[in-house]
């Protein structure tokens, strides 16, 4: 079954999809839609696919740092959207699919999930997926995947917190998650997300002002910006 629940926005990436201008455009366009709409609470991200063909790249086909920069900026933009980003990852989640997964808020996995960091010519791609992985699980736990491309099974991903749930019926779990995040935009999910991201690298004293500003905003009557 591959039925989208009642979501406002949907985008998908296949594991063997190359990093090219089309991939950047696809992610940029969905970000445009989410931001321009002004309403809607959930972006559903479907990530799937089998292993790439022998010798295929899951990093850039041509090492073009300008293209890589555009892609990284698009992923970062998705990571800061004013809606909840909910991912469904099944099968071999590698390449761009793995990069996008690590930038979502809530992650549902099928039991067949195998997560692999992006590679180029069989070598782990040194993009920002390494940064996100280290921040999310710690340098020690990220080492095998980051240095040697070790795969991560669904059970291990759940234990590490890289996915939030592993479901025999992923679509049912996905529908429940989407329902739970209704109202995310109005509740300023982007503000709390940013505070969480900053917490790992910001001192209490430096963070206090941002948290107080967020509290002040939350205390204002509805409709007062």
How far, in Å, CA of 188 to CA of 170, rounded? 27
58 membership: H or E segment, kind and range: none
pLDDT-based confidence at 129, cuts 50/70/90?
A: very high
Judge whether 101 lies within some domain: yes
| Domain total in the chain | 2
Judge whether 94 lies within some domain: yes
- Name the burial class of residue 157, with classes exposed (0-12), middle (13-18) and buried (19+) by CB atoms within 10 angstroms of its CB: buried
What does the pLDDT look like over 167-182, one tens digit per residue? 999 989 999 998 999 9
3-state secondary structure of 107: strand
Judge whether 33 lies within some domain: yes
pLDDT-based confidence at 87, cuts 50/70/90?
A: very high
170 and 142 fall within a common domain: yes
CA-wise closest residue to 173 among 39, 1, 40:
1
3-state secondary structure of 19: strand
CA-wise closest residue to 116 among 78, 87, 76, 144:
144
pLDDT-based confidence at 57, cuts 50/70/90?
A: very low
Judge whether 35 lies within some domain: yes
Residues 6 or more apart whose CB falls under 8 angstroms from that of 208 comprise none
pLDDT-based confidence at 54, cuts 50/70/90?
A: very low
pLDDT-based confidence at 210, cuts 50/70/90?
A: confident
pLDDT at 223: 55
What does the pLDDT look like over 134-192, one tens digit per residue? 999 999 999 999 999 999 999 999 999 999 999 999 989 999 998 999 999 999 999 99
120 and 195 fall within a common domain: no
Instruction: Give 169-222 as a 3 state SS string.
Output: CHHHHHHHHHHHCCCCCCCCHHHHHHHHHHHCCCCHHHHHHHHHHHHHHHHCCC
167 and 206 fall within a common domain: no
3-state secondary structure of 88: strand
How far, in Å, CA of 95 to CA of 125, rounded? 9
Per the structure, the complete domain to which residue 25 belongs is given by 9-180
Take residue 136 and report the two structure tokens written for it. Answer: 């999310």
73 and 119 fall within a common domain: yes
Q: What is the CATH number of the domain that holds 121?
A: 3.90.226.10
135 and 213 fall within a common domain: no
Residue 58 confidence (pLDDT) above 60: no
114 and 91 fall within a common domain: yes
Q: What are phi and psi of 32, to 5 degrees?
A: -60, -45
pLDDT at 61: 54
77 and 44 fall within a common domain: yes
Mean pLDDT rounded to a whole number for the chain: 88
Take residue 96 and report the two structure tokens written for it. Answer: 């761009």
CA-wise closest residue to 122 among 48, 50, 52:
52
165 and 138 fall within a common domain: yes
How far, in Å, CA of 48 to CA of 182, rounded? 25
Judge whether 83 lies within some domain: yes
Percent of the chain at pLDDT exceeding 90? 66
What would the mean pLDDT of 101-128 be, rounded to a whole number?
Answer: 93
What would the mean pLDDT of 196-206 be, rounded to a whole number?
Answer: 87
Take residue 135 and report the two structure tokens written for it. Answer: 């921040």
What does the pLDDT look like over 110-121, one tens digit per residue? 999 999 998 887
Does pTM surpass 0.75?
Answer: yes
């Amino acid at each position: 079954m591959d039925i989208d629940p009642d979501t406002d926005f949907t985008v998908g990436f296949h594991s063997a999809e190359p990093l090219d201008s089309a991939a950047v455009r696809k992610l940029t366009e969905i970000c445009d839609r989410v931001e321009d709409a002004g309403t809607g609470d959930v972006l559903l991200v479907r990530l799937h696919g089998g292993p790439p063909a022998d010798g295929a790249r899951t990093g850039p086909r041509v090492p073009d740092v300008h293209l890589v920069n555009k892609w990284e900026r698009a992923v970062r933009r998705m990571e800061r959207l004013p809606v909840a980003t909910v991912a469904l990852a099944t099968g071999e989640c590698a390449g761009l699919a793995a990069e996008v997964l690590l930038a979502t808020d809530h992650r549902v996995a099928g039991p067949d999930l195998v997560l692999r960091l992006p590679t180029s010519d069989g070598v782990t791609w040194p993009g920002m997926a390494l940064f996100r992985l280290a921040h999310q699980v710690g340098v020690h736990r990220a080492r095998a995947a980051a240095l040697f491309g070790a795969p991560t099974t669904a059970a291990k991903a759940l234990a590490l917190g890289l996915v939030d749930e592993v479901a025999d019926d992923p679509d049912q779990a996905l529908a429940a998650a989407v329902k739970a995040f209704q109202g995310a935009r109005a509740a300023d999910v982007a503000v709390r997300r940013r505070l969480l991201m900053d917490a790992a690298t910001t001192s209490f004293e430096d963070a206090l002002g941002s948290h107080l500003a967020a509290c002040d905003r939350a205390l204002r009557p509805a409709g007062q910006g």
